[in-house]
Amino acid sequence: MEGSMTRREWMVKSLTALLALIYGIPALVMLVVPAFRRQKPPWVKVGNVNDFPAGEPKAVTLSYQRRDGWVIRTVRTTVYVAAKPDGSLKVLSNICTHASCAVRWERERKAFFCPCHAAYFDADGKVMQGPPPRPLPEYPHKVEGGLLYVQLENV
Amino acid sequence: MRKLLEWLERETGLVSAWARFWAQPLPAGVGWGHIFGALTLLTLVVLILTGGVLMFYYSPTPDQAYASVQYIEHYLPAGQFIRALHYWAARLIVPLLIIHILRVFFWGAYKRPRQMIWVTGVLLLLTVIGYGLTGYALPWDQKAYWGTVVRLKIAEGIPLIGAALATFLRGGEAVGAVTLMRFFVLHVFVLTVIVVILVAWHVLQVRRLGVTPPGVPVSHEGGVSMTQRLHPDHTLRIAVGATLFSVLLVALSLAFPAPLEPRANPMDTAYKPHPDFYVLWLHELVELFPSQVEFIGSFVLPAILVGILLIVPFIERNPERQPRKRVKALAVGTVLLILVVGLNVKGIRALPQPERLSPLERQGQQIFVELKCYSCHGINGGGGPVGPDLGHATERDPKAVRALLRDPTSHNAHTIMPAYQLPQETEDALVAYIVSIGPNSKMPPTPPTEPEKPASHFEENWFVNHKFEVRKDPASCNDCHKPFFCQACHQNRRPSSHDAQWLKFHFGNAAERPEMCASCHAPSYCDSCHRVMRHDTKWTQQHSQKLAQFGEKMKWAGQTMSQLCYHCHTPQSCQGCHTGALPASHKVANFLTDPQVGHGKVALKQGTASCNSCHQPKFCQSCHGLPMPHPEGWDSDHPKVGHKNPALCQKCHNFKDETCQTCHQAAPSSHTEDFRKEHPRRITDSGASCQVCHGRNACMDCHKVPMPHPKDFGESHAKLGAQRGWKGYSGVKRLQAATCANCHDMNYCNQCHQP
The answer on B484 and B548 residing in a single domain is no
Q: Contact A71/B64, CB-based, under 8 Å?
A: yes
The answer on B50 and B128 residing in a single domain is yes
Please tell me which residue of chain A has the smallest CA distance to B47.
A23
The answer on B516 and B551 residing in a single domain is no
Interface probe, candidates B15, B41, B56, chain A, greatest A C-beta count within 10 A: B56
Q: Contact A70/B250, CB-based, under 8 Å?
A: no
Pick the last residue of a domain from B315, B350, B385.
Answer: B350
> What's the confidence (pLDDT) of residue B559?
47
The answer on B544 and B522 residing in a single domain is no
Interface probe, candidates A12, A46, A63, A74, chain B, greatest B C-beta count within 10 A: A12
**pLDDT tens sequence across B663-713:** 666 666 677 777 777 777 777 666 666 766 666 666 776 677 777 777 777
**Burial (0-12, 13-18, 19+ Cβ within 10 Å), B234:** buried
The answer on A70 and A124 residing in a single domain is yes
> What's the confidence (pLDDT) of residue B557?
42
Residue type, B48: I
Quote the minimal CA–CA distance from A104 to chain B in Å: 18
**B186 domain residue, yes or no:** yes
Residue type, B72: I
Quote the minimal CA–CA distance from B90 to chain A in Å: 15
Task: Name which of A26, A64, A71 is nearest B78 (Cβ-Cβ).
Answer: A26
Interface probe, candidates B476, B477, B478, chain A, greatest A C-beta count within 10 A: B476
Give me the phi and psi of A47, to 5 degrees please. Answer: 155, -175
Alpha-helical segments (H) within B555-593: 561-565, 571-578
Quote the minimal CA–CA distance from B608 to chain A in Å: 21
Would the pLDDT of B513 be above 80? no
> What's the confidence (pLDDT) of residue B569?
67
**B660 domain residue, yes or no:** no
Quote the minimal CA–CA distance from B123 to chain A in Å: 27
The answer on A147 and A111 residing in a single domain is yes
Give me the phi and psi of B105, to 5 degrees please. Answer: -65, -50
Query: Which residues in chain B are contacts of A62 at CB distance < 8 A?
Result: 475
> What's the confidence (pLDDT) of residue A23?
94
Query: Which residues in chain A are contacts of B71 at CB distance < 8 A?
Result: 69-70
Q: Read off the pLDDT of each residue in A32-56 and give the average, rounded to a whole number.
A: 85
Range of the domain at B399: 359-436
Separation CA A23–CA B249 (nearest Å): 11
Q: Contact A23/B68, CB-based, under 8 Å?
A: no
The answer on A144 and A125 residing in a single domain is yes
Pick the last residue of a domain from B472, B505, B530.
Answer: B530
Interface probe, candidates A23, A33, A73, A77, chain B, greatest B C-beta count within 10 A: A23
3-state DSSP call for residue A43? Answer: strand
Interface of B with A (CB under 8 A): 42, 46, 49-50, 53, 56-57, 59, 64, 67-68, 70-71, 75-79, 81-82, 85, 231-233, 235-236, 239-240, 242-243, 246, 250, 451-452, 454-455, 473, 475-476, 479
The answer on B425 and B541 residing in a single domain is no
The answer on B465 and B407 residing in a single domain is no
Would the pLDDT of B52 be above 50? yes
In this structure, what CATH number is given to the domain that contains residue B408? 1.10.760.10
Q: For residue A1, name the pLDDT band (cuts at 50, 70, 90).
A: very low
The answer on A140 and A75 residing in a single domain is yes
Q: Contact A34/B75, CB-based, under 8 Å?
A: yes
**Burial (0-12, 13-18, 19+ Cβ within 10 Å), B137:** buried
Name beta bridge partners: A112.
A105, A121
Interface probe, candidates A6, A8, A11, A15, chain B, greatest B C-beta count within 10 A: A15
The answer on B229 and B149 residing in a single domain is yes
Separation CA B378–CA B442 (nearest Å): 9
The answer on A74 and A56 residing in a single domain is yes
Q: For residue B396, name the pLDDT band (cuts at 50, 70, 90).
A: confident
The answer on B292 and B432 residing in a single domain is no
Number of domains in chain A: 2
Orientation of helix B79-106 relative to helix B36-55, angle to 10°: 150
The answer on A143 and A75 residing in a single domain is yes
**pLDDT tens sequence across B556-585:** 444 445 556 666 666 566 666 665 556 666
**B601 domain residue, yes or no:** no
Query: Which residues in chain B are contacts of A26 at CB distance < 8 A?
Result: 78, 81-82, 85
**B206 domain residue, yes or no:** yes
Query: Which residues in chain B are contacts of A9 at CB distance < 8 A?
Result: 231-232
Query: Which residues in chain B are contacts of A27 at CB distance < 8 A?
Result: 49-50, 53, 78, 82
The answer on A129 and A108 residing in a single domain is yes
Name beta bridge partners: A150.
A44, A141
- B708 cis-preceded (ω within 30 degrees of 0): yes
The answer on A47 and A24 residing in a single domain is no
Q: For residue B325, name the pLDDT band (cuts at 50, 70, 90).
A: confident
The answer on A63 and A16 residing in a single domain is no
**pLDDT tens sequence across B462-473:** 777 787 877 777
Query: Which residues in chain A are contacts of B67 at CB distance < 8 A?
Result: 70-72
Q: Contact B243/A34, CB-based, under 8 Å?
A: no
Q: Contact B46/A23, CB-based, under 8 Å?
A: yes
> What's the confidence (pLDDT) of residue B589?
67
- Among A106-115, B225-234, B316-325, B621-630, where is mean pLDDT lowest? B621-630
Quote the minimal CA–CA distance from A31 to chain B in Å: 7
Interface of A with B (CB under 8 A): 6, 8-9, 11-12, 15-16, 18-19, 22-24, 26-27, 29-31, 33-34, 61-65, 69-72, 74, 76
Task: Name which of B53, B78, B239 is nearest A11 (Cβ-Cβ).
Answer: B239
Please tell me which residue of chain B has the smallest CA distance to A5.
B232
The answer on B415 and B343 residing in a single domain is no
Q: Contact B452/A29, CB-based, under 8 Å?
A: no
Range of the domain at A50: 43-151
Q: Read off the pLDDT of each residue in B40-65 and give the average, rounded to a whole number.
A: 95
Quote the minimal CA–CA distance from A4 to chain B in Å: 13
Beta strands (DSSP E) in B320-438 are none
Query: Which residues in chain B are contacts of A70 at CB distance < 8 A?
Result: 57, 59, 64, 67-68, 70-71, 75
**B6 domain residue, yes or no:** no
Please tell me which residue of chain A has the smallest CA distance to B477.
A63
The answer on B372 and B334 residing in a single domain is no
For chain B, the residue count is 755
Q: Which of B258, B415, B623, B82 is nearest to A23 (CA)?
A: B82
Run of H or E including B42: helix B36-55
- Among A34-48, A80-94, B410-424, B507-521, where is mean pLDDT lowest? B507-521
Separation CA B642–CA B635 (nearest Å): 11
> What's the confidence (pLDDT) of residue B338?
92
Please tell me which residue of chain B has the smallest CA distance to A62.
B475
The answer on A93 and A20 residing in a single domain is no
Q: Contact B67/A70, CB-based, under 8 Å?
A: yes
Q: For residue B315, name the pLDDT band (cuts at 50, 70, 90).
A: confident
Pick the last residue of a domain from B289, B315, B350.
Answer: B350
In this structure, what CATH number is given to the domain that contains residue A95? 2.102.10.10
**pLDDT tens sequence across B85-136:** 999 999 999 999 999 999 998 888 888 888 899 999 999 999 999 999 999 9
Could you tell me how many CB contacts below 8 A there are between chain A and chain B? 92
> Is ipTM beyond 0.85?
no
Quote the minimal CA–CA distance from B641 to chain A in Å: 37
Number of domains in chain B: 5
Q: Contact B50/A27, CB-based, under 8 Å?
A: yes
Alpha-helical segments (H) within B210-300: 235-255, 280-287, 294-295
How much is the mean pLDDT over chain B? 80
Q: Which of A67, A87, A82 is nearest to A126 (CA)?
A: A82
Would the pLDDT of A6 be above 80? yes
Quote the minimal CA–CA distance from A78 to chain B in Å: 12
Query: Which residues in chain B are contacts of A8 at CB distance < 8 A?
Result: 232-233, 236
Run of H or E including B510: helix B502-512
> What's the confidence (pLDDT) of residue A28?
94
How much is the mean pLDDT over chain A? 86
Give me the phi and psi of B347, to 5 degrees please. Answer: -65, -40
**Cβ count near B61 (within 10 Å):** 14
Interface probe, candidates B44, B71, B248, chain A, greatest A C-beta count within 10 A: B71
Q: What is the pTM of this model?
A: 0.66
In this structure, what CATH number is given to the domain that contains residue B97? 1.20.810.10
The answer on B546 and B525 residing in a single domain is no
Distances (CA, A) of B54 to A20, B62, B432: 18, 17, 44
Q: Which residue has the higher pLDDT, B580 or A10?
A: A10
> What's the confidence (pLDDT) of residue B483?
61
Name beta bridge partners: A64.
A75
Query: What's the gap between Cα B36 and its chain centre?
Result: 52
The answer on A124 and A98 residing in a single domain is yes
The answer on B174 and B50 residing in a single domain is yes
Q: Contact A65/B64, CB-based, under 8 Å?
A: no
> What's the confidence (pLDDT) of residue B530?
66
**B14 domain residue, yes or no:** no
- B232 cis-preceded (ω within 30 degrees of 0): yes
Give me the phi and psi of A25, to 5 degrees please. Answer: -65, -50
Contact between residue B490 and residue B520 where contact means Cβ atoms under 8 Å apart: yes
> What's the confidence (pLDDT) of residue B571?
58
The answer on A73 and A8 residing in a single domain is no
> What's the confidence (pLDDT) of residue B61?
93
Please tell me which residue of chain A has the smallest CA distance to B53.
A27
